[in-house]
Chain A
Amino acid sequence: MNEEWSEALDRTIVSVVPKFDEILKEYPYIKDYADKLTQIKLGVLDHLDEYVKMTVESVEKSGGVPHLVKDKNESQKVVRDICGKEGMVLFAKSNVALELEIRESLARDGHEVWETDLGEFLVQLAHEHPSHIVVPAIHMTKERIGKLLHDGLDARVSSDSTYEELVASVRKFLFQKYINAKVGITGANAVAAATGSVVLVENEGNIRMDTVIPSTHIAITGVDKIVPTLEDAFLEAQVQSAYAGLYPPTYINVTSGPSSTADIESKHVTPATGPKEFHLVLVDNGRRKAVGDPDLRNALLCIKCGRCYFTCPVYGTLGYDWTQPPYGGPMGAMWSAIIDDDTRPANLCTHSGGCKVVCPVQIDIPKVLEHIKWLDSQKNR
């Protein structure tokens, strides 16, 4: 990476580390929540197939359409079939959608596709990769973002514009897209097996728009995001938000099936004002195989908060060059092995150890990476 990377990352770390400290000091129960969540997720991994089945049944019961897919090709086919030909498709920073290259596959079909999370939108505009799982444009300085928007979107902003002016410029552009969108694609911070509910945490408000305005909402997520109940899903959303440095979150969204109403004689009618279709695409893509590996399975506890990135000297030096985006930093070195069977990034782990100190769900990341190094050594004999 270049000098801009060091500068941008330093600015971010100086800004976020005190926020992490403040959140955990002001809301000490978050640590208890994180401990509880760890136990809940360990329990799910012990019976993952049962929870997947329960989730599928619950989504059907709520009027949604579940899809259990095994890999990238199958995921792309399912989503392309739902989206049909042409039309505007909006994305709300689903990392699993990025993992499966869903956006690219829809663009090839002729869809107009836009990311609506600000950071992910900037990365899309620059034709680059996300450099952090929660803050995808962490590698860009404000000055470069100003120039990027000036050249590609809005001649009125520049590298000298204020933070507020830059955000407002994107907001104005995206509003036109929301109105015309046919499909909204999100990820999921957690999926409640008992109710088939998808829980999403955010601050920008884009997820609310993506999940309500288009006539179809597709949530794409990994089977590792399943927790037993809606209460557990809220727990995960809160912990994720706190360890991403944004607590309390501005919004927590829950979607259980398509929009509906029972306002006329209590008769349940769907759709109502919101989407008429809700699809949950549950993705395996290496996850279920990883459950069977006693060391690698711990990586599936990851709630994708991105806290570990900020402790890692290898990420600090290599940025998104280290692993295959969207998963980067120490967690990305684990997830490359799970989803791509790419064991090579783990070899660069220096076992600095900060990642395991900060991990809210107590993943001993260096130990997992040591195991992946060993897996790599087995391949190259």
Chain B
Amino acid sequence: MDYRKVERQLSLVRGVVYKNLLENYMPLPVDRSACSRWTKDLPPSGQTIIYTSYMYQLGSVFKSYAKLLERFSGVKFATRFTFLGGFLIRPKREELERASLILNNIVALLKESSVQVAYLYDEEPYSGALLLELGLLDEFREYGRRLLSFFDGRGIIRVITVDPHTTNALLRLKTLLKSNLEVVNYLQLIRHSEGKGSFVMHDSCLYSRYLGLGDVVKSVLQNSGVTLVEDRMVTAQDTSTCCGAPVESVDEELSEKIAKARAMKLTSVHKNVLVACPLCYQNLSPHVESIRDIAEVIR
């Protein structure tokens, strides 16, 4: 195995992504206003917020980390990339439209369960999950201090997350920095929902094998009327595997191969695949004809 490329990618993440986070609370220079247009109806401040961490809006951008970092791999260019105020990555229109439907549905589901939320719009910071998942623990801790201070400064005491990576990152920060911030995933708050159809569920690794939320996800779906098709060799806790997304930023080829293999297993069980994570959606969708997020299926 030639690890030189992996080392180069990690070095770029440290150099480019971390610097951007410290300066802009974003891993890459992204058009934040475009990402926050999915709602105008939520109050911009409050003690409880819905926290998207841009995961649905920027799923394809996060998937293209490797390519983006590759593009800006020259030292001079990397510096420009960090500080170039005018240059902004804009997500695709159709992706923003899909994210809007998903996020508005999540807000509606929370309202149905009597949970009112505020939203930080284009002030919303990124969680730092990428740093944690690449083992850049010093950087994650340092950025996390700023993030928690940011929340604290706005009087936020409860954060409702919408994806597994952000949920995991914030819960780790709570432990690492001994914060009192309440972190809860929206799926834990849903009291009632309706859905239909049959699917094979691609477990989120973090929900299922780290956060103890695998059963929560499945019971929300089953209570809503959705049928999940199980297969011992594909969907059990010890046979379900990652979609490959977490390694995309350091080894794109490996990530693709893992995604393709996982998609083949899933579609051997059922043609309709269901995911609970925007990165799983991004990684698996090129290899699956019919794939939907949980928040596109329950209402």
Contacts and interface: CB of A to CB of B under 8 A. Distances in A.
Contacts of A346: 135
Contact of A317 (B132, B133, B237, B261): B261
Interface stretch (A70-78, A159-167, A350-358): A350-358
A180 interface: no
Given A313-B262, A352-B205, A374-B136, A344 B247 contact: no
Given A354-B209, A357-B209, A373-B134, A311 B3 contact: no
Contacts of B160: none
A257 to B, nearest CB: 41
Contacts, number: 113
B257 interface: yes
A377 interface: yes
B77 interface: no
Category for how many chain B residues contact A: 35 or more
Interface stretch (B5-13, B91-99, B190-198): B5-13
Contacts of B136: 373-374, 377
B249 to A, nearest CB: 10
Given A344-B6, A377-B10, A351 B137 contact: no
A374 B135 contact: yes
Given A353-B210, A357-B209, A347 B261 contact: no
B90 interface: no
Category for how many chain A residues contact B: 35 or more
B1 A311 contact: no
B52 interface: no
Contacts of A356: 209
Given A351-B246, A373-B134, A317 B205 contact: no
Nearest to A349: B247
A272 interface: no
Contacts of B205: 350-353
A353 B237 CA distance: 9
A353 B164 CA distance: 14
Contacts of A14: 233
A176 interface: no
A13 B41 CA distance: 51
B24 interface: no
Contacts of B262: 313
B254 interface: yes
Contacts of A357: 209, 237-238
Interface of A: 6, 13-14, 17-18, 21, 311-314, 316-318, 321-323, 344-354, 356-358, 366, 369-374, 376-377, 380
18 contacts: A17-B239, A314-B258, A322-B1, A345-B1, A345-B3, A350-B247, A352-B209, A353-B209, A353-B210, A354-B209, A354-B238, A370-B132, A371-B135, A372-B135, A374-B135, A374-B137, A376-B135, A377-B10
Interface of B: 1, 3, 6-7, 10-11, 14, 132-138, 205-206, 208-210, 232-233, 237-242, 244-247, 250-251, 254, 257-258, 261-262
